[in-house]
Each structure stands twice: as C-alpha cells, then as structure tokens.
Amino acid sequence: MHDDEQRPSIVESVEPDRVVWSSIWPWRPEALIRFDIEDTAQSSAYLRWTLLVDEPAPDDETIVRMCRRLNELINTNLRSTFGQ
C-alpha cells in the first residue's frame, strides 16, 4: 500500500456472488469497492469490480487515478502472485 492508503476491510459479503471492501483512501472514507462474481457454465467465473463514491464525485482526473490504482492492486498484483 502507498503511504496515503490503508488496507481495506470487508464491509459486506454475499456468498457466492458479492464482496464489498471499505475505502483504501483515508481522504475518501465513504468510497467502496464492490466485487461482483458471476459463475459460468464452464467451471470458471467472471470478476467485475466497481468503485462507488458519494457526492460530490471526484473530478475526472481523480477518478481515473483511483481506478488505475485499484486496477493495479486487483489485477497486476494478483497476476504476479500466480506467476503470470
């Protein structure tokens, strides 16, 4: 985690299809990261994450920066864990 970030906690979990994390940004504590998991018929699953923020919404540049950071944490770091 970066110096201006905190580890998220699980604020909601609905097995088997949804998990919601708390914010990783202390300066935006109401932000939530929602993971939706869709099971497929081919013994695999699709994962979609969504950044949820309250009004007032951040400016476009901040939203892009927040989404890039989440993408890095969720996708890049996870892939390297599995050696990909």
- CATH code at 26? 3.30.310
Domain presence at residue 37:
yes
Domain presence at residue 5:
no
- Cβ-based burial of 33 (10 A; exposed 0-12, middle 13-18, buried ≥19): buried
DSSP H or E run through 20 = strand 18-21
User: Into how many domains does the chain fold?
Assistant: 1
On whether the CB atoms of residues 54 and 33 are closer than 8 A, the answer is no
- Write out the residue range of the structural domain in which residue 15 sits: 10-81
Domain presence at residue 51:
yes
DSSP H or E run through 38 = strand 32-39
Domain presence at residue 3:
no
Domain presence at residue 2:
no
Q: What is the pTM of this model?
A: 0.81
Residue 68 clears pLDDT 70, i.e. is over it: yes
How confident is the model at residue 79, as a pLDDT?
A: 60
How confident is the model at residue 67, as a pLDDT?
A: 94
